[in-house]
Amino acid sequence: MEKSKAMERDSIATARMLSEALPFIRRYDGAVIVIKLGGHAMSSDQAMDSFARDIVLMRQCNLHPVIVHGGGPMINAMLEKLDIKSDFVNGKRVTDKATVEVVEMVLSGAVNKRIVQAINRQGGKAVGLSGKDADLIVCTQAEGDLGLVGEPVGINAGVIDTLSAGGFIPVIAPLGTGLDGETFNINGDTAAGAIAAGLKADRLLLLTDVAGVKDKDGDVLTDLNAAQVHKLIEEGVIAGGMIPKVQTALDALKQGVRAVVIIDGRKPNACLLELFTTYGSGSMIRA
């Protein structure tokens, strides 16, 4: 009897939650949502399946999710297995010819297809590609002694628009092609920001392994503008690995993305909480 009452309470709570989500579902009808997937959300089959269900639900609600993924730990493991040394400068991988071949094999192969399969298992229609396909991401060589690391200078948004219009969910590996046909490795956040800008996305969601941008007391800042972000960087409150993430956000906002949210990807249903609830999730940065 008690179990039956508990199930009834859960059902009522679920129905109420769905009802309260309706205004947000209507708000995002037809919206392009670019999601950078990395960290905890890729760490286990259970986390991947949960993420995939969220993405399929978003597509069923007529949102247009576009996934850009990383894969640093998987690349590291393969480089170690092949006894190829890999160095980093300011958080970016120095990429020579041997390294970029491994990066492409891992990202476009095992990692990309794992995400595609997870989404398809949940009833979605995911299609995997890299930034090299149809010159989706055109790059120049990034500054510094980083080797074959690319800086996006052009996005062929028509490729993604065509897939989305057909009901497909693009899953994109962060590789690009150079003006002379070279293959470039691109930082995942940078690639996601460039794609979001090229699509003039309504939202760019950056899934991370932290709760969001924090103030000097360690509390998460839920709503920020560009001026506040610059001030926090100057004061040293935003530091370390958070700097490139907020810089990606600022660049995307300058190029027409409506808002960027840095989200804790460790939280179950983090994307749905951000989009379909009043509470939201993580730190939103607006222009």
Identify residue 83 by its one-letter amino acid code: D
Q: Are 86 and 79 in contact (CB under 8 A)?
A: yes
Give yes or no: 245 in active site.
Answer: yes
* Strand-strand pairing, 283-286 and 259-264: antiparallel
Identify the active-site residue in 54, 133, 189, 264. Answer: 189
> In the block, which residue shows the tokens 């699509």?
199
Q: What is the 3-state secondary structure (H, E, C) of 93-117?
A: ECECHHHHHHHHHHHHHHHHHHHHH
Give yes or no: 147 in active site.
Answer: no
Identify the active-site residue in 36, 71, 124, 132. Answer: 36
Identify the active-site residue in 132, 212, 245, 264. Answer: 245
Q: Are 155 and 136 in contact (CB under 8 A)?
A: yes
Q: What share of the chain is helix, strand, coil (3-state, %, to 5)?
A: 45, 25, 30
Can you name the residues that pair with 264 across neighbouring β-strands?
208
Identify the active-site residue in 38, 70, 71, 72. Answer: 72
Give yes or no: 189 in active site.
Answer: yes
Give yes or no: 39 in active site.
Answer: yes
Identify residue 177 by its one-letter amino acid code: T
* Strand-strand pairing, 283-286 and 223-225: parallel
Identify the active-site residue in 38, 39, 70, 282. Answer: 39
Instruction: Give the catalytic positions in this structure.
Output: 36, 39, 72, 189, 245
